Amino acid sequence: MNLMTACWLPFRNRNGAIVYLPPTAVADPDIIDLALPRADFQGAAYQFLIGLLQTTLPPQDHGDWVDRLLEPPGVDELQTVFAPFVDAFELDGEGPRFMQDLDPLDDVKEATVSGLLIDAPGANGIKNNTDVFVKRGCVEAMCEDCAALALFTMQINAPAGGAGIRVGLRGGGPLTTLVMPESNAASLWSRLWGNVVTTESLTRSGQSWTEPRADDESLFLWIAPTRVSDRKGTEVFPEGMHPLHPYWSMPRRFRLLFEDEACRCDVCGREVSRAVRRVRSKKQGANYGGPWLHPLTPYRRDPKKPNEPPLSTKGQPGGLGYQHWSNLVLNDTDGSGALPALVVNDHVSQKVQIVEGERDAGEEVAALLKHARLWAFGYDMDNMKPRGWYSVEMPLVAVPPAQQDRLRAWVQRFIDLARQVAWMVRNQIKNAWFDRPAEAKGDMSHIDMAFYDATQGDFFNALQSFKEVLLVSHDSPTLPAEVAESWYRALYRKAMALFEEQALSGALEAADLQRATAARRQLQSFLVGRSKGSKVIRQFAETGGFSLTAKPAATEERIS
């Protein structure tokens, strides 16, 4: 099976039907999305197709990129563009196999195909009988299509796996952030092309851009013998690889074993005539070292240690919310060290302004970039153990580059206040629940999550207001007082509501009304700026230019 020409990807068309077609279908305007059977496969398929377009149709500059936005290629044209790369995308056969070791690995034991799934129990989990929640034996056979995506998903997300089992180029469990059109009816082409960047922006210090070729082993590692990492000095560094290599990184050594036997795929549920039940894997694959930056992943650099490589942003317990927005969208090299993904930074800093310029010049550009969303997804990993999968979408606000620092400062001020209020709500709920709250054990993070969920809509409303102010201001605007006060009032209302919902939520026989009433009083005193610890509230009101003396629009019922 060849991944360039086979009908192996499930697409959703405008009628809602799911059809299996080759990758060239992305040029069909009636195709609006992918429809993979697993969330991690969905994210990986997007990355596969973005990488494919970035490799075969790289825009030389933003003018070239806009041209493709205005006049997307047809299916036949895309087939011609893909043709020179077909040989690098064979999944089976005697020659090089897509993302598989050139060596057939006959000297290693075979393992079940479920080992390609990040959430499948490992060998130790099965041996020690600790696969309590993630069960063994759930996936024993895959169709070729699902096996190809499982292989790709593992290679681009490879977590830590023990001695000699290499982690992915981005580190284990990396987040991926993509720019998505606001409209659900947007074509798949617009979803993908919005995440393609120029060749200049991809080429980093120490690298040189060369025309991509199917036989370039600095681009596709699988076309050449493995770069075995059994000793020091075998690391794979950015300066020795093609600028496009991050899309096709290959840290693990695998060989899929195909069987010409009819079966039902345990992943997608389809009846197929050819399947993969077993794989071979071996240690000491490509060992990525140095300052790699994947174009689809946000990073963080320690401003105090500028010579150390940046670290990719990972999924964390508690998920993703607006409290992470600024670090995923706005560059802050000198402050927090946040480095948004290249595709996001390119959208916010250049593409939006370029497209607006084209529209002002009379070009009929669809408002694809005017209303965009940030899609962030990835595993939350504890070394080699997945704790969860996160996938969220958030509004993506873009302002002129000269105003981005101001936007980040305003956003960070709002988020800092929310964190302080969330912390106080959690502490006072503990005070209401426990006689000795300092000694209380257990995870209380669900309270913070509930608070952030409750205030998310208010935050994004404020973010939109910031955008409107900064788009029309050419000087140095101050924080809008009405927006700041609205945010404070929203935090007050949601904090009090969450406290009253949670304070007496335990067993009635354990409830202490006097303790709960005292905790409520302390929370309210903090929120109105009257307690010793509420300096942060008073400072926010002073900076925001509003008064705390006006009575907040919140319930005043007492716990009784």
SS3 of 496-543: HHHHHHHCCCCCHHHCCHHHHHHHHHHHHHHHCCCCCCCHHHHHHHHH
**Does residue 32 lie in a domain region?**
yes
* pTM, rounded to two decimals: 0.92
Q: For residue 444, name the pLDDT band (cuts at 50, 70, 90).
A: confident
Last residue of a domain, one of 325, 354, 383: 354
Residue in 175, 146, 170 with CA at minimum distance from that of residue 156 = 170
Paired strand residues for 391: 377
Which tokens hold the place of 553? 């629009």
Residue type, 272: V
DSSP 8-state class, residue 218: T
- Structural domain count of the chain: 2
Instruction: Answer yes or no: do 255 and 138 share one domain.
Output: yes
The reported pLDDT for the residue numbered 126 is: 45
DSSP 8-state class, residue 323: G
Instruction: Answer yes or no: do 90 and 190 share one domain.
Output: yes
- pLDDT score of 560 more than 50: no
Give residues with Cβ within 8 angstroms of 219, minimum separation 6: 55, 212, 213, 241, 242, 244, 245, 248
**Does residue 173 lie in a domain region?**
yes
Which tokens hold the place of 221? 């590692």
Which tokens hold the place of 326? 């600024």
Instruction: Answer yes or no: do 303 and 410 share one domain.
Output: no
- pLDDT score of 556 more than 70: no
Residue in 392, 394, 459, 397 with CA at minimum distance from that of residue 422 = 459
**Does residue 203 lie in a domain region?**
yes
Instruction: Answer yes or no: do 161 and 47 share one domain.
Output: yes
Range(s) of the domain holding residue 446 = 401-544
- pLDDT score of 528 more than 70: yes
Query: What does the CA dihedral 301, 305, 308, 313 come to, rounded to 10 degrees?
Result: -20
- pLDDT score of 128 more than 50: no
Instruction: Answer yes or no: do 136 and 261 share one domain.
Output: yes
Q: For residue 369, name the pLDDT band (cuts at 50, 70, 90).
A: low
Instruction: Answer yes or no: do 333 and 442 share one domain.
Output: no
**Does residue 303 lie in a domain region?**
yes
Q: What percent of the chain has pLDDT over 70?
A: 92
The reported pLDDT for the residue numbered 506 is: 58
The reported pLDDT for the residue numbered 428 is: 94
Q: What would the mean pLDDT of 367-394 be, rounded to a whole number?
A: 87
Residue type, 282: K
The reported pLDDT for the residue numbered 122 is: 52
Residue type, 394: M
Instruction: Answer yes or no: do 246 and 347 share one domain.
Output: yes
Instruction: Answer yes or no: do 188 and 303 share one domain.
Output: yes
| Residue-wise pLDDT tens digits, 66-79 | 999 889 999 999 99
Residue 45 in 3-state DSSP? helix
Q: Which residue has the higher pLDDT, 136 or 412?
A: 412
The reported pLDDT for the residue numbered 434 is: 87
CB 317 within 8 A of CB 445: yes
Q: What would the mean pLDDT of 241-267 be, rounded to a whole number?
A: 97
Q: What percent of the chain has pLDDT over 90?
A: 75
Instruction: Answer yes or no: do 196 and 52 share one domain.
Output: yes
- pLDDT score of 558 more than 80: no
The reported pLDDT for the residue numbered 137 is: 56
Within 10 Å of residue 451's Cβ, how many Cβ atoms? 24
Q: For residue 125, name the pLDDT band (cuts at 50, 70, 90).
A: very low
Q: What would the mean pLDDT of 487-507 be, rounded to a whole number?
A: 89
Residue 357 φ/ψ, nearest 5 degrees: -65, -40
**Does residue 183 lie in a domain region?**
yes
Residue in 89, 88, 59 with CA at minimum distance from that of residue 71 = 59
Q: Range with the lowest mean pLDDT among 61-65, 192-196, 323-327, 358-362?
A: 358-362
The reported pLDDT for the residue numbered 443 is: 82
Paired strand residues for 13: 31
Q: Range with the lowest mean pLDDT among 113-127, 216-230, 347-361, 408-422?
A: 113-127
Burial 373-400 (b: 16+ CB within 10 A, else e): bbbbbbbbbeebbbeebbeeebbbbbbe
For residues 407 and 413, what is the distance between their CA atoms, to the nearest angstrom? Answer: 10
Instruction: Answer yes or no: do 341 and 478 share one domain.
Output: no
Q: What average pLDDT does the chain have?
A: 90
| Residue-wise pLDDT tens digits, 145-175 | 999 999 999 999 999 888 899 999 999 889 9
Instruction: Answer yes or no: do 212 and 323 share one domain.
Output: yes
